[in-house]
Amino acid sequence: MPSSACHQNCSEELSEVLLASGPITTMPVPGRRCPACLEKGETVWVIQGKCCPECGTPVN
C-alpha cells in the first residue's frame, strides 16, 4: 500500500494534469442517427440494431 505522502503527490499531479487539459468538450456517442428522422430535419440517436423510439425505423 502506498504511503500517504506518495498518494498525496500522485493526487496533486493528477489534479494538475486534469486542470491543464481543460474541460471535456466531446464524448463519443454509442449509436447512430435515425435516417428517417434525419430526413425530416430531426436528430434522434439510436443504439445500432434497435428501432428509433420516435418513428420505429430499424437502425443498423
What's the rounded Cα separation, in Å, for the pair 57 and 8?
52
Q: Residue 51: inside a domain, yes or no?
A: no
Q: Residue 52: inside a domain, yes or no?
A: no
- What pLDDT sits at residue 27? 75
Q: Residue 59: inside a domain, yes or no?
A: no
- Structural domain count, the chain: 1
Note the residue count of the chain. 60
In order along the chain (60 residues), what is the average pLDDT of each group of 10 residues?
A: 56 76 75 96 94 96
Q: Residue 13: inside a domain, yes or no?
A: yes
Q: Within 13 A of 1's CA, how many CA atoms are on the CB side? A: 1
Q: Residue 8: inside a domain, yes or no?
A: yes
One-letter identity of residue 10? C
Domain of 42 in residue numbering reads as 4-46
Q: Residue 33: inside a domain, yes or no?
A: yes
Looking at residue 7, the DSSP 8-state letter turns out to be: H
What's the rounded Cα separation, in Å, for the pair 58 and 48?
9
